[in-house]
Amino acid sequence: MSSFAVDAMLGKLALWLRLTGHDTFYEADVDDDELLKIANSEKRILLTSDANLHRHAVESDIRGMLVRGSVDEVVVDVFVEFGITPTVDPTKSRCSKCNGELIQLAGTEKERIRDLVHKKTYDYYEKFWLCKDCQSVFFQGGYWRNILEYMEKIEVLMRERMDK
């Protein structure tokens, strides 16, 4: 599975890469030189919408991709280019906030997050995912349908792209 370094202009792409389980470095305030260093030292694929940054990556023998367009177009382009399946499986996802690994907690294990979520949330949901790094807690709440619908939309757009 590929790992990526994503420039500040592509935050939504970074989110979808993390949710589909890809190790994705993204920080909005990292400058271009630092991003190039990270991509190079960690052998990450640089994804950018900045032509100058992409040129510097190519000159430095850093694998990269120049992406432009709407969020949907960018997600489709990257998913097609790197053979990414538009599926979100929380057992494989990365933390959408910090890229950390997630631990699934259910049954008696969910006690670990009791003080990190609202009581109603804790009582209602059985499965939670805890980020090892930032301690963020995730669960398949109301937004989950939106995530699944978006991945279905991306899958359709990918098929349309392949059929052209």
Q: For residue 161, what pLDDT is reported? A: 87
CB atoms near residue 56 (< 10 Å): 18
pLDDT per residue rounded down to tens, the chain (164 residues): 789 999 999 999 999 999 999 999 999 999 999 999 999 999 999 999 999 999 999 999 999 999 999 999 999 999 999 999 999 999 999 999 999 999 999 899 999 999 999 999 999 999 999 999 999 999 998 889 999 999 999 999 999 988 87
What sign does the CA torsion over 26, 28, 33, 34 have? Answer: negative
pLDDT of residue 162: 83
> pTM here?
0.94
> Could you tell me which residues are beta bridge partners of residue 137?
130
The alpha carbon of 98 is separated from its chain's Cα centroid by a whole number of angstroms, namely 10
